[in-house]
Amino acid sequence: MKALRMAAVCLTALGLTMAHAAPALTDEILIGELHPLTGPASFYGIPESRGIQLAVEEINAAGGVRVGDQSQMLRLMTEDDHSTPTAGVAALKKLRAADVRFIIGPLGSGVAPALFPIIDRDSGVTQIVDGTIAEGVTNGRNIFRNQAAVSQYDLAVADLFRSKKYASVAMMTDRFHAGFMGTQPALSETLKSLNATVAAEEYYKLGDTDFSAAMTKLVSLQPEVLLIRGYPAEGALITRQARQLGYEGQVVWEMVSPPSTVLKNISATEMEGVYNCIPPTTEDYIALGQDKALAFDKAYQAKFGTTPGELSTLSYDAVYILKAAFEKAGSTENEAVNAALAAMRPEDVPQLISGYVAHQDGRLFDDVGQVNLRGAVSIWQGEGWVPVPDLAG
Amino acid sequence: MLDLFLQQTVNGLALGSTYALVALGLTLIFGVLLIPNFAHGEFYMVGAFLTYALVMAGLNFWLAMALGALAVIALGCLIDLVAFRPLRGAPPLSLMISALAASIILQQTATLIWTSEARTIPTPVTGVLRTPFFIVTWMQVVVMASLILSVAAIWAILNRTRLGLAIRATAQNHDAALLMGISMVQVRLATFAIGAALGAIAGALLGATFPIYPTMGVNPVLKAFVVLVLGGIGSLRGAVLGGLFLGLVEVMVAGYLSTELQDIGAFTLLVLVLLIRPQGFFGTAQVER
Amino acid sequence: MSLLSLHNLGVRFGGLRAVSDVSLTVEQGQIFGLLGPNGAGKTTLVNMISGLIAPTEGSITFADEAGGPWPIDQAVRRGIVRTFQQTRAFLGLTVRENLRIAGIAAASAPPTDELIAAFHLEPVLDRPAGDLNYATLRHLGIALALSLRPRLLLLDEPAVGLTGAEVDRLAQLIRDWNGRGVTVLLIEHNVRFLMALSHRVAVLDRGRLLFQGTPAECRANPQVIDVYLGRSAEHA
């Protein structure tokens, strides 16, 4: 492993000295991925990392990436960011020291803003964010994101309110979630413009366990909707405590919440009828019977012996988006690859599983590098989420 | 408005009894052995996870809780043996660091075994008690009842048995207890066993209400230290009343001021008590030994 | 028959010789009084015998067992029990509980009832020791020591701060328990009290043994009169 890395470094050094004359002397493209593989967020991070491994293996097995007239193999370098800013920056430095110029990740809403100013100034690296939904972590030059932004989650919430004509809402938001906190005022305004009274905006934090005070207040206000924005363990608890205190209105979640996690914290009966407003996840695409998703699911299970995670398909898609950019650019120079990404259209990447919608000009990424992956409404029925198609879009 | 207040009071007492339950074991170990046992949160966490694992394996909740508590008693004695006994007579800072180390090791081990995903023990008692004035879940009633039972049991052990007398004498005056021929090994073992069992029971009961994960013990222990300061270190009555008081304050702050101030309220209270009555509401000023 | 023998016992604290070369013997059943001006090393000597501090030279033999002094808990187990000038009772526990503590570890139950009767503790049995008045607390301290069924009781200034009547009662109590077979080593400032009680006395001066003999011999000894009794008598 060490020898291999040394060889890679030497070859890259050689490539550098030969400057632009022959940019692709190596027959490998090094791709770095940055996800939490240990710590509390590893539950999301490991399935993302595996989605990338799967895509890289598939691409290499099918002959690699065609860059110009040459085939190049992808080689993956994995770093653990523990979902903390410090570990994330250290991991980025490590990847850059190994001359990794293409990075997929991170997951954490705390990590991405820490990496952003570094990568934003580094024209020698291209990043595709496949996890965080925080705002302001892309630039459309060398940083792109194939995950939704929180504001796109919020679109689905607005769709739901528009369709159901809810008259009032109380919001419970995880105040440590930079993404949700960032769009809180805008969402509140949007809901007001849809004639819903915002009866209360309450906050909690990850790891809180007792919400009785806020829920008692809420029950007394009797809003038609309780909107919970955060992570599923607390989401389940808030839902349960609200019901126990006699809240009978509609509960709406805005959170990535795999049913397996939800059911570890609340019973299926208590979840029945809860809405969730997020972009479709891996499980949704599989549930919808989408061919590529089914194939992905099968391959993933065969390789890892477990079902894919909520965000696995996003990470998988990110690798194919990079591949398409290399091929379209006919180069692995960052500048050329960035240009290809900026101009890319969804149909350029037939392998994509997630349901990206082209922006108005037909491109996959908009001027700030954001895909259009708007939230959709699903409802809890029986043991899991079921898409509610007539509301979406 | 009044029934809202009554409901918030019940909420506060329910929350407070969870604090008191955690604080009981902590105050016992601190009061008797002068060990700031940060690893108490991990007794709580391991108790919750063992109960969860046993319930998942098909055992009855109460049986699972009892077995979990027994295992945690063994763990508590082991922690004392490895982390604290070698430091007898060391300055408090060393004990504190040792406790933190034990706490981190247990958290990491739990992460390796159970991963960091949050989960909840299936509630052994479901349903809600609705009265005209307030609503309370039966599980909350169970927690409050367990607090009363735990206090009664500890009181009986401390006041009605020879071992309890030895524990109290040691808490009063360690050197004099030694002079009276009391075996410190027995007192330590018993104190850690009772403390650990209380932690495990709290973990099992609260794990059926709240999500459990490897670092779940950190916050409750911090809160329990606040309770100790409020109620007076080493005082069982202080732990109970301090816990209930803290729960009430938190709920009232969150209910009538802002949810964002809930934690700030608790710690402001802590600072105030430290300034005004450093020995706590029920503690006596430490007599020089 | 000798119960306790000190062999050339001494201790230094840094450069200071607090006690040096003390040899004496306490017979079984005696009340042995130890006199000396302030700073003569009386309490230091008792601290060494009871195992609170380790001597830097010399040794003790207790009940035919050589190799002492022993650490304080082991000394207690051998029957060497002491009281302190500052009573070490358990102030938060009731008097009754205090008197039960000795029974936790002991093979035989402590003579609780006898102690309660002898020290007149009946009216305060259920009060916390911290609430007792000074004299009663001192009684409790001695009762606690006796509850361990000592063979040798080391009393460190038991009469300090007591009124005349209280001192007389204390003297009677010590005599009573001595009569039941408890050997007593008594340190006391109150010369009259000590002389009246003791079968034998020793005088310490600046860490050295100045005299050993009966109270009558002591009173007649010119050296003792010079360093201690003379001055004390002037003050008294």
**Per-residue model confidence (pLDDT) at position A366:** 94
**Residue range B89-113: average pLDDT?**
89
Looking at the predicted structure, is the pLDDT value of residue A229 above 90? yes
Better-predicted residue by pLDDT, A162 or B211:
A162
Pairing relationship of beta strands A384-387 and A376-381 according to DSSP bridges: antiparallel
**Residue range C47-64: average pLDDT?**
88
Contact status, residue A7 vs residue A26, Cβ threshold 8 Å: no
Looking at the predicted structure, is the pLDDT value of residue A338 above 50? yes
**Cα(C208)–Cα(C21) distance, integer angstroms:** 7
Better-predicted residue by pLDDT, C77 or A191:
A191
Largest distance between two CA atoms of chain A = 73
How far away is chain B from the Cα of C65, in angstroms, using its nearest Cα?
Answer: 20
User: pLDDT tens digits for A90-109?
Assistant: 999 999 999 999 999 999 88
Nearest by CB to B181, from C91, C100, C148: name it.
Answer: C148
Percentage of chain B lying above the pLDDT 70 cut: 96
**Per-residue model confidence (pLDDT) at position C100:** 86
Residue of B165, B173, B180, B182 best to disrupt the C interface, most CBs of C under 10 A: B180
Contact status, residue A209 vs residue A237, Cβ threshold 8 Å: yes
Q: Which two tokens stand for residue B80?
A: 């004392």
Q: Which two tokens stand for residue A21?
A: 């004359």
Residue the block writes with tokens 């009894």: B17
**Residue range C191-203: average pLDDT?**
88
**C-alpha closest to that of C128 among C136, C116, C120, C118:** C136
**Residue range A278-294: average pLDDT?**
88
Ranges A31-45, A84-98, A271-285, B186-200: which has the least confidence: A31-45
> Please, which residues have CB within 8 angstroms of residue C15's CB and are 6 or more apart in sequence?
none
Nearest by CB to B173, from C90, C103, C106: name it.
Answer: C90
**Cα(C196)–Cα(A39) distance, integer angstroms:** 78
**Per-residue model confidence (pLDDT) at position A316:** 97
B180/C77 Cβ within 8 A: no
> Please, which residues have CB within 8 angstroms of residue A42's CB and are 6 or more apart in sequence?
A36, A83, B115, B116
C100/B178 Cβ within 8 A: no
**Residue range B176-186: average pLDDT?**
84
Residue the block writes with tokens 């993404």: A179
- Taken as a whole, chain A contains a residue count of 393
**Residue range C208-232: average pLDDT?**
77
Question: pLDDT-derived band of residue B229, with 50, 70 and 90 as boundaries?
Answer: confident
Ranges A250-259, A374-383, B115-124: which has the least confidence: B115-124
Does A237 reach chain B within 8 Å, measured CB to CB?
A: yes
**Per-residue model confidence (pLDDT) at position A321:** 97
Ranges A97-106, B111-120, C5-14: which has the least confidence: B111-120
**Per-residue model confidence (pLDDT) at position A390:** 67
SS3 A86: helix
**Cα(B232)–Cα(B246) distance, integer angstroms:** 13
Peptide bond into B220 cis (omega under 30): no
Q: Which two tokens stand for residue A294?
A: 């089914």
Nearest by CB to B182, from C81, C88, C105: name it.
Answer: C105
Q: Which two tokens stand for residue C155?
A: 């009393």
Pairing relationship of beta strands C208-213 and C57-62 according to DSSP bridges: unpaired
Looking at the predicted structure, is the pLDDT value of residue A393 above 50? no
pTM of the model: 0.75
Alpha-carbon torsion (A33, A37, A40, A41), positive or negative: positive
Q: Which two tokens stand for residue A246?
A: 């006699």
Is C201 exposed, middle or buried, given 0-12, 13-18 or 19+ CB atoms closer than 10 A?
buried
**Per-residue model confidence (pLDDT) at position C229:** 55
Give me the residue spans of the domains in chain B.
Answer: 20-214
Residues of B in contact with C76 (CB under 8 A): 179-181
**Per-residue model confidence (pLDDT) at position B194:** 93
Looking at the predicted structure, is the pLDDT value of residue C234 above 70? no
Q: Chain A to chain B, count of Cβ pairs less than 8 Å apart?
A: 82
**Residue range C10-15: average pLDDT?**
83
**Per-residue model confidence (pLDDT) at position A371:** 94
- Within its chain, how far is the Cα of B123 from the centroid? 20
Peptide bond into A185 cis (omega under 30): no
Domains and CATH numbers, chain A: 2-148+291-348 (3.40.50.2300), 151-278+376-391 (3.40.50.2300)
**Residue range C211-228: average pLDDT?**
81
**Per-residue model confidence (pLDDT) at position B55:** 93
Q: Which two tokens stand for residue B42?
A: 């991990």
Residue A183 region by backbone torsions, left for phi larger than 0, else alpha for psi between -120 and 50, else beta = alpha
Residues of A in contact with B137 (CB under 8 A): 244
**Cα(C112)–Cα(A127) distance, integer angstroms:** 82
> Please, which residues have CB within 8 angstroms of residue A360's CB and are 6 or more apart in sequence?
none
Q: ipTM score of the complex? A: 0.75
Is A340 exposed, middle or buried, given 0-12, 13-18 or 19+ CB atoms closer than 10 A?
buried
Residue the block writes with tokens 């523990």: A82
**Cα(C128)–Cα(B17) distance, integer angstroms:** 30
Residues of B in contact with C93 (CB under 8 A): 165, 168-169, 172
DSSP state of A350: T
**C-alpha closest to that of A313 among A349, A289, A285:** A285
Question: pLDDT-derived band of residue B219, with 50, 70 and 90 as boundaries?
Answer: confident
Interface of chain B against chain C, CB under 8 Å? 162-163, 165-166, 168-169, 172-173, 175-183, 284, 287
Question: pLDDT-derived band of residue A142, with 50, 70 and 90 as boundaries?
Answer: very high
User: pLDDT tens digits for B258-270?
Assistant: 777 777 777 787 7
**Per-residue model confidence (pLDDT) at position A3:** 47
**Per-residue model confidence (pLDDT) at position B265:** 73
Q: Which helix (H) or strand (E) holds A226?
A: strand A225-229
Question: pLDDT-derived band of residue C102, with 50, 70 and 90 as boundaries?
Answer: confident
B252/A213 Cβ within 8 A: yes
**Helix residue ranges, H only, chain A:** 2-17, 42-61, 85-97, 111-120, 150-164, 178-193, 212-221, 232-244, 259-263, 268-271, 282-287, 291-304, 312-329, 334-343
Nearest by CB to B182, from C91, C93, C104: name it.
Answer: C104
Q: Which helix (H) or strand (E) holds B7?
A: helix B2-33
Average pLDDT, chain A: 88
**Residue range A174-178: average pLDDT?**
85
Ranges A125-139, A320-334, B106-120: which has the least confidence: B106-120
**Cα(A321)–Cα(A209) distance, integer angstroms:** 41
How far away is chain C from the Cα of B181, in angstroms, using its nearest Cα?
Answer: 6
**Per-residue model confidence (pLDDT) at position C99:** 86
User: pLDDT tens digits for A7-19?
Assistant: 444 444 444 443 3
Residues of A in contact with B130 (CB under 8 A): 246
**Residue range B145-171: average pLDDT?**
91
**Per-residue model confidence (pLDDT) at position B282:** 66
Contact status, residue A281 vs residue A297, Cβ threshold 8 Å: no
Domains and CATH numbers, chain C: 1-72+166-236 (3.40.50.300), 80-149 (no CATH)
**Per-residue model confidence (pLDDT) at position A253:** 96
User: pLDDT tens digits for C82-97?
Assistant: 888 777 788 888 888 8
Pairing relationship of beta strands A275-278 and A376-381 according to DSSP bridges: antiparallel
Q: Which neighbouring-strand residues pair with A72?
A: A65
Pairing relationship of beta strands C200-205 and C208-213 according to DSSP bridges: antiparallel
**Residue range C175-182: average pLDDT?**
88
**Residue range C148-171: average pLDDT?**
86
User: pLDDT tens digits for B66-77?
Assistant: 999 999 999 999
**Residue range C35-39: average pLDDT?**
80
Residues of C in contact with B182 (CB under 8 A): 101, 104-105
**Per-residue model confidence (pLDDT) at position B283:** 59
Highest mean pLDDT among B93-97, B231-235, C110-114: B93-97
Better-predicted residue by pLDDT, C158 or A293:
A293
Looking at the predicted structure, is the pLDDT value of residue B60 above 70? yes
Percentage of chain C lying above the pLDDT 90 cut: 4
